[in-house]
Amino acid sequence: MCRALLYLGEPVPLSHLLHEPDSALVRQATMPKMLHMLNLAGFGLRAWDAASLGPEKPWAYGSTTLPVFDRNLENLAAKVAAGAVLAHVRGVAYSTAVDISLANVHPFQFPGARLAMAHNGDLARFAELRPEIAAHVPAGLARHVRGTTDSEWIYALVLSGLRDPYGSPEGDELPAAIARALALVREARGRLGIDTSSSVNLFFADGAQIAAVRYCFDFGRYATADPARVHEANLSFLSLWYTLGRDYDRHEGEWKMVGGAGDARSILVASEPLTRDVASWVEVPEYSVLHARLEGGRPSVAIRYLD
């Protein structure tokens, strides 16, 4: 399973998210604290910088190499500050059938689309599900699918539920499109008789808003009667946490978000807390979507529960 993060608020150096904290995302590629699984199949990010040329378009970076040894990424992260970030380290179960390629590196962002998405989890029997999902994706969007992952098709399905797949969703449009996509997948699983546990933690950003989903189809149901063959990632709900505050940085020798939710200027969402001090982190509820956008320089946060 993968690890991912979202950030929205006051501009922050990318190194504060990716490299420097105790459990920074790059460190989670090889040393995750809440999931004993290596994430060695690639790294990708989107980072929106209001001071950059074409601020509506994010910095984009992707690589199939280990980010721990990626000096280009380290140098970039030390120089770039961004007000919105979506980053992801990819983990896959070992198999000769798995395709490790740039086309499968998250986040996914179709040409011309404002919204980007990353995924932590997998859909059981995806080869059977793919035609069912594709039936709800317009040809104009489906032609942009380049990789072989279930994640990219989930992204296309969410985009297909927006009034303008290439625009920035307004109001509650994004949570509604997410709920629609999950409902369509659930219906397709029912038609195909798929009832195996399948995690769908999703991460969305477009530079002005973020959304994080903590969800699992048929949690607790496994395809084997042999417990030893069930991976630990399926034994509990995949983790997802967030913290709100005024300033995310090193304070008195400890990485933390300070200022409290009442005076929040930024929100940070991650598969697991980035900091050793976890007092300010809150777990995202199961079967929910956390949606945040900036209003008057402050993140307005809402949590919507999903069927």
Q: Is the pTM of this model over 0.75?
A: yes
In sequence order, what are the residues at sequence separation of 6 or more whose Cβ sits closer than 8 angstroms to the Cβ of residue 150?
119, 122, 123, 126, 129, 130
The helix (H) or strand (E) run that includes residue 84 is strand 81-89
**% of residues, the chain, pLDDT over 70:** 92
Q: Which domain holds residue 81?
A: 3-305
Structural contact between residues 215 and 198, judged by C-beta atoms closer than 8 angstroms: no
Bridge partner residues of 117 (DSSP): 108, 204
Q: What is the pLDDT of residue 234?
A: 66
Q: For residue 127, give the DSSP letter.
A: H
The CATH code of the domain that includes 219 is 3.60.20.10
**pLDDT, tens digit, 9 for 90 and up, residues 25-75:** 999 988 888 876 766 668 999 999 999 999 999 999 999 988 999 999 999
Q: What is the pLDDT of residue 220?
A: 83
Confidence tier at 92 by pLDDT (50, 70, 90): low
The DSSP secondary structure of 167-215, one letter per residue, reads S---TTHHHHHHHHHHHHHHHHHHHHT--S-EEEEEEEE-SSEEEEEE-
| Alpha carbon distance 21, 268 (integer Å) | 13
Q: What is the pLDDT of residue 262?
A: 87
How much is the average pLDDT of 128-136?
98
**% of residues, the chain, pLDDT over 90:** 80
Number of domains in the chain: 1
Q: Work out the mean pLDDT of the chain and round it to a whole number.
A: 92
Structural contact between residues 238 and 231, judged by C-beta atoms closer than 8 angstroms: no
**pLDDT, tens digit, 9 for 90 and up, residues 144-164:** 999 999 999 999 999 999 999
Structural contact between residues 93 and 231, judged by C-beta atoms closer than 8 angstroms: yes
Q: What is the pLDDT of residue 32?
A: 87
80 has pLDDT over 90: yes
- Angle at Cα 259 formed by Cα 120 and Cα 211, nearest 5°? 25
